[in-house]
């Protein structure tokens, strides 16, 4: 067995939507530098594996990302798959999760599979997983709930920073952080989710991609500055002509990191709740029932199929038709929706009937957009 070593150098790869994880990586970097570990923070889009770290047990590789539906975000998953195979390079997997505070009660977030997923993948690539932990930061999930009050943001952040001050020196001393109360909490979530809905995290990743991006729109306050498009980490926003000005159009590349929503200076990005309800009904049309009924009426088709095919085949066929209809309906109806919101009356209707219109926005207070832009993006935008 390799002996535990103190690290000499570290690189922290970071994915961050609204700045929480970026801030955490800077706090860790500060602590590391204080312990004479030469550390640097690298955004995942700037990663250069051949120069960022060497294959050595003295070199710690940190992987930091937010939790999205109990998993790492898509961009982080792709990054983990891209990581090169290296033997015995120590790795630390950290997920920030969304905590809420109501009065004096702090409600912790849950990372579920997020850190374990990163740990298993890196383990399979030959790395030595030395530390796994999740950390409560103020929740940025503002398409679902109100943005936290600044006082509560401070309290949650201070608690996170204090926790890091205790934890990081232990990790830098080579201690293995695996069997902790924190990881037990996350394990319980994994068991609960597996038992309840076995495919929940995967389903979430797909639904968020298909559905959640397609409820985003800009309200009448949008001035068409294009900042949301320029700073989107996935280049998921297109600025398209919409009457007298340009408006953001959300594509399927969006992974719902909420950077655009959290940082828009005009508070113009909304996640249309009333539109989501309408979209739900549009996509739930029992299209296959109508199709079968029509075929049966015109060709007496259904009994023939039922005679030759097993119920399972018919069931799978139904399901496939539904998926095709779902994708088509989401795609087409977003185009119609996007056309309508250029008219102030429709825009006002969808804005005032969405809860995000009344919610506070959130981004990590000390993290500026320029901190979150990779080198290439900085060259293009700043
Ligand atoms: C789409 C989405 C899904 C989220 N899912 C979870 C979750 O499953 N569990 C959790 O604790 N927090 C969840 N959160 C909250 C974030 O993980 C948390 O606020 C994180 O610190 C944000 O980091 P960032 O500012 O670096 O993007 C979610 C946030 C978003 C936007
Ligand atoms: S939504 Fe906000 S950031 Fe995007 S173009 Fe409109 S005003 Fe600018
Ligand atoms: S469009 Fe907005 S929410 Fe989607 S990935 Fe880009 S910045 Fe994040």
Model confidence at 301: pLDDT above 70:
no
Ligand nearest to the CA of 66: 1
pLDDT at 283: 78
Are 191 and 217 in a shared domain? no
- Residue 201 in any domain: the answer is no
> Comparing 314 with 21, which gets the higher pLDDT?
21
List, in sequence order, every beta strand (DSSP E) within the chain.
9-14, 38-43, 59-66, 90-102, 105-107, 128-138, 216-218, 237-242, 245-250, 269-271
Average pLDDT over residues 112-126: 95
Share of the chain above pLDDT 90, in %: 68
Are 165 and 228 in a shared domain? no
> Which of 3, 2, 17 has the alpha carbon at shortest distance from 233?
17
- Residue 204 in any domain: the answer is no
Ligand 3 centre distance from Cα of residue 233 (Å): 7
Ligand 3 centre distance from Cα of residue 228 (Å): 8
Region of 166 (left: φ > 0; alpha: ψ -120 to 50; beta: rest) is alpha
Joined together, the tokens standing for residue 271 give 């996640």
> Comparing 1 with 75, which gets the higher pLDDT?
75
What is the spatial distance between Cα 98 and Cα 111, in angstroms, rounded to a whole number? 9
Q: Which of 244, 248, 342 gets mutated to test ligand 2 (max ligand atoms within 8 A of its CB)?
A: 248
pLDDT tens digits, one per residue of 255-294: 999 999 999 999 999 999 999 888 888 877 766 666 666 6
Model confidence at 181: pLDDT above 80:
yes
Closest Cα to atom 4 of ligand 3: 254
Model confidence at 327: pLDDT above 50:
yes
- Residue 206 in any domain: the answer is no
Is 18 near ligand 1, meaning CB less than 6 Å away? Answer: yes
Contact between residue 28 and residue 172 where contact means Cβ atoms under 8 Å apart: no
DSSP state letter for 125: T
Ligand 2 centre distance from Cα of residue 269 (Å): 7
Contact between residue 227 and residue 259 where contact means Cβ atoms under 8 Å apart: no
User: What torsion do the CA atoms of 39, 44, 46, 48 make, to the nearest 10 degrees?
Assistant: 70
Is 258 near ligand 1, meaning CB less than 6 Å away? Answer: yes
pLDDT at 304: 52
Contact between residue 61 and residue 44 where contact means Cβ atoms under 8 Å apart: no
Sign of the dihedral through C-alpha 119, 125, 130, 135: negative
pLDDT at 210: 76
Are 232 and 178 in a shared domain? no
Are 110 and 222 in a shared domain? no
Q: How confident is the model at residue 243 (pLDDT cuts 50, 70, 90)?
A: confident
Say what angle helices 273-283 and 311-340 make with each other, to 10 degrees.
140
Is 369 near ligand 2, meaning CB less than 6 Å away? Answer: no
Average pLDDT over residues 151-160: 97
Ligand 2 centre distance from Cα of residue 259 (Å): 12
Last residue of a domain, one of 166, 196, 226: 196
Are 190 and 222 in a shared domain? no
- Residue 202 in any domain: the answer is no
What is the spatial distance between Cα 161 and Cα 135, in angstroms, rounded to a whole number? 9
- Residue 75 in any domain: the answer is yes
**Strand 128-138 to strand 90-102: parallel, antiparallel, or no bridges (unpaired)?**
parallel
Is 97 near ligand 1, meaning CB less than 6 Å away? Answer: yes
Last residue of a domain, one of 173, 196, 219: 196
Total domains in the fold of the chain:
2
Joined together, the tokens standing for residue 334 give 């977003």
pLDDT at 166: 96
Model confidence at 316: pLDDT above 90:
no
Ligand 1 centre distance from Cα of residue 358 (Å): 20
- Residue 203 in any domain: the answer is no
Q: How confident is the model at residue 2 (pLDDT cuts 50, 70, 90)?
A: very low
Are 160 and 308 in a shared domain? no
pLDDT tens digits, one per residue of 90-99: 999 999 999 9
Are 248 and 351 in a shared domain? yes
- CATH assignment of the domain containing 119: 3.40.50.360
Region of 332 (left: φ > 0; alpha: ψ -120 to 50; beta: rest) is alpha
Are 233 and 377 in a shared domain? yes
pLDDT tens digits, one per residue of 192-234: 877 666 567 777 777 777 778 889 999 999 999 999 999 999 9
Q: Which domain holds residue 99?
A: 9-196
Last residue of a domain, one of 164, 196, 228: 196
Are 241 and 378 in a shared domain? yes
- Scan for tokens 């912790």, then name that residue: 108
Are 152 and 62 in a shared domain? yes
pLDDT at 306: 54
- Residue 20 in any domain: the answer is yes
Q: How confident is the model at residue 63 (pLDDT cuts 50, 70, 90)?
A: very high
- Residue 177 in any domain: the answer is yes
Are 148 and 229 in a shared domain? no
Are 30 and 160 in a shared domain? yes
């Amino acid at each position: 067995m390799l002996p535990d070593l103190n690290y000499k150098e570290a690189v922290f790869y970071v994915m961050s939507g609204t700045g929480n994880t970026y801030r955490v990586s800077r706090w860790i970097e500060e602590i590391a530098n204080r312990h004479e570990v030469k550390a640097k923070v690298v955004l995942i889009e700037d990663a250069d594996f051949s120069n960022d770290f060497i294959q050595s047990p003295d070199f710690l590789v940190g992987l930091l990302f937010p939790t999205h539906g109990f998993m790492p975000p898509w961009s982080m998953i792709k990054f983990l798959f891209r990581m090169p195979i290296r033997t015995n390079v120590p790795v630390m997997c950290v997920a920030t999760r969304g905590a809420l505070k109501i009065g004096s009660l702090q409600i912790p977030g849950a990372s579920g599979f997020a850190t374990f997923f990163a740990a298993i993948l890196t383990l399979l690539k030959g790395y030595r997983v030395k530390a796994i932990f999740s950390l409560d930061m103020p929740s940025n999930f503002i398409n679902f709930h109100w943005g936290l009050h600044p006082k509560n943001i401070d309290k949650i952040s201070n608690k996170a920073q204090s926790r890091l001050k205790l934890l990081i020196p232990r990790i830098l001393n080579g201690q293995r952080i695996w069997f902790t109360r924190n990881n037990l909490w996350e394990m319980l979530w994994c068991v609960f989710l597996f038992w309840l809905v076995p495919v929940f995290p995967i389903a979430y990743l797909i639904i968020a991609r298909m559905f959640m991006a397609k409820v985003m729109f800009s309200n009448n306050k949008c001035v068409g500055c294009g900042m949301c498009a320029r700073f989107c980490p996935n280049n998921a926003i297109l600025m398209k002509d919409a009457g007298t000005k340009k408006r953001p159009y959300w594509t399927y590349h969006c992974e719902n990191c909420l950077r655009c929503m959290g940082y828009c200076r005009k508070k113009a990005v909304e996640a249309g709740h009333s539109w989501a309800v309408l979209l739900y009904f549009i996509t739930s049309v029992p299209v296959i029932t109508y199709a079968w009924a029509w075929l049966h009426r015109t060709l007496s088709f259904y009994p023939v199929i039922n005679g030759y095919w097993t119920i399972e085949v018919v069931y799978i066929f139904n399901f496939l038709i539904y998926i095709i209809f779902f994708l088509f309906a989401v795609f087409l109806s977003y185009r119609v929706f996007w056309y309508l919101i250029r008219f102030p009356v429709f825009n006002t209707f969808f804005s005032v009937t969405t809860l995000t219109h009344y919610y506070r926005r959130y981004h990590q207070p000390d993290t500026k957009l320029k901190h979150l832009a990779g080198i290439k993006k900085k060259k293009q935008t700043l």
